[in-house]
A and B are shown apart, each in its own frame.
Chain A
């Protein structure tokens, strides 16, 4: 245990992942499942090689990614001004927040079919589903971040006759940034789910969602696993990107 604690993160992650694969392979061997019920890790790796080589995995991944990224950017982009408005104006909060909260009570999977009826573009319908999923948690964090600014710092800025823009730029934005970035991390993983939901209700011949559905119909369970791992990898990569941005932007936190 002490030895394990002293290892760098990549060693512990590799170890735990290796252990997971081992247990998985054991379950397959002991249970003697058919590959279409539970494929072993080796089957999945083999299938991964196949779809990687024939280019299908990359093509579908890029299409999903092309929905995830605008979904994340637009979702966060809408949250920012709206969050500012809600944090600053009690009236706006009273008027808008009941709808925002009510909208979160309806699962996005239930709204998504409506969106595909209203929006003819497959791409934009899927992006919009991702936007809907990303939007709320990022919004909540932006509001929480802006509200965390100490009142006395506002007074300090006012005593210096700072403009509204200066107050935002030099006080509110940097003060809110740690919480906003935490929201963005959450949003990054949710955007992948959002795009996938969008693809489920709009399964034209493209995207990882489409690949998942067709693989399931054809009982290619190993391919289902490949898609699942790819989605997880995509979410992890986006999360990692936000973490990287965080490390750069919040360098001052390292010194605490």
Chain B
């Protein structure tokens, strides 16, 4: 893994309105091509951080810098699939390429590759209402990646899925991440999911919120669901849990 940080946040603070400070002096780096997970209680400001990294919000103070000094191309995915109900799966995935004005033939190839990668080629012509929750999230993932972004921001992407689908989607995400050169930043509520997927788990807490702990996950890759039973996994998960209990709740 490349140790050169892809993104560096320096003393980033954010206010809602004039008074209410949500985030205070966050400083961290995301390694290029790495997978970083962020855990923390609801309403702590995790989604605000995602929006700051996506460039949808400007930090009230501090800086977010990128490796080559220009804002990266971004793939964004939320808890809700946010697919456009009037577009087929194929057309939903094509949306970013349409916006970027990519030629039709090139776009077609890219969309088919992405649908193939998420295993939904057979459902290209289905409308979102015809897809299951897990399938819809896969389409959303394909849409987030079709324009080959350098930064993939996931805001509790599998939070609305049932436990089994969620595990499968995690594995799917790892497989896709391994196939593409993309830096991943994922917000999740699940300690287990964070530990199983990420290189590093950041714990956020406090009012205003700060990064209270950063835990390296040294589990070998490829990660498999069976690893959850391993001693090493339990130690990592325990460390994250301890950080939350001591520094966020306690």
Contacts and interface: CB of A to CB of B under 8 A. Distances in A.
B76 A156 contact: yes
Contacts of A175: 84, 86
Interface string A169-181: 0110011010000
Interface in A160-213: 160-162, 166, 170-171, 174-175, 177
Given A155-B76, A252-B127, A255-B130, A170 B82 contact: no
Nearest to A161: B99
Interface in B66-86: 74, 76, 78, 80, 82, 84-86
Interface residues of B, number: 24
A155 B51 contact: yes
B147 interface: yes
B157 to A, nearest CB: 12
A interface secondary structure, majority: helix
Interface residues of A, number: 22
Contact of A157 (B78, B99, B127): B99
Contacts, number: 54
B96 A160 contact: yes
Contacts of B85: 252-253, 256
A152 interface: yes
Contacts of B56: 155, 158-159
A160 B99 contact: yes
A34 B76 CA distance: 74
A109 interface: no
Contacts of B80: 150, 152
Contacts of A150: 80, 82
A161 B71 CA distance: 11
14 contacts: A152-B80, A153-B84, A155-B54, A155-B56, A159-B55, A160-B100, A161-B99, A162-B99, A170-B98, A252-B86, A252-B87, A253-B85, A255-B129, A256-B85
Closest 7 CB pairs of A and B: A256-B129, A252-B86, A159-B76, A255-B127, A162-B99, A160-B99, A174-B86
Given A160-B96, A170-B95, A171-B84, 6 more contacts: A152-B80, A153-B82, A159-B54, A174-B84, A175-B84, A252-B86
Interface of B: 51, 54-56, 74, 76, 78, 80, 82, 84-88, 95-96, 98-100, 126-127, 129-130, 147
